[in-house]
Homo-oligomer: A and B are copies of this chain.
Amino acid sequence: MGPMPKIQPELLTAAAFAPFGCVIESVASTAESMNSERFRRFDALARLDLDAGLDGIISIAECLEPSSLPYEIDLLERHPRGSQAFVPLSACRMIVVVAAAGETVSGDDLRAFVTDGQQGVQYHRGVWHMPLIAFDAGQRFLVVDADDSEHNCDEIHLAEPVLLETPPVWP
């Protein structure tokens, strides 16, 4: 076997991420005023896409055990019955790793994205993704997904792990 394949995070943009999901971010061009112009609303940045009969739920995920880079990716998961969103509840370093929906996935299919520190993401249903990692204990993320943890998570172990490298720029 040769050395472990590596993946370098690229900057998260809505265009680059479009095949995998939505970027939840406040981009000035999309704002509408609300509440007598005391606020601007960046509307419908993500739309929940859930199987009929499933409710959307709002949860919080809090990091107990921070990860560090380089990080060995050996496990991916997908949620076939609905979209899943993660939004940081305070500015933080955040990396997401994804691969297009499909029955199989290999290390060659992976794309890694580093956020600007405030962006959140919503994965389209079925999109393979690295389970959430964070780099600081106590970091909290709001999670918006389907209320069906039992039948809504497939996992796959990569035949060959991939090494997630430090991004060129941290936020």
Contacts and interface: CB of A to CB of B under 8 A. Distances in A.
Contacts of A41: 59-62, 143
Most B CB within 10 A of own CB, among A55, A66, A91: A55
Nearest to A147: B44
Contacts of A47: 55-58, 147
Interface size class of A (residues with CB under 8 A): 35 or more
Stoichiometry, copies per complex: 2
Nearest to A35: B131
B57 A42 contact: no
A154 interface: no
A45 B58 contact: yes
A87 interface: yes
7 contacts: A38-B65, A38-B132, A39-B61, A42-B60, A47-B56, A89-B89, A120-B142
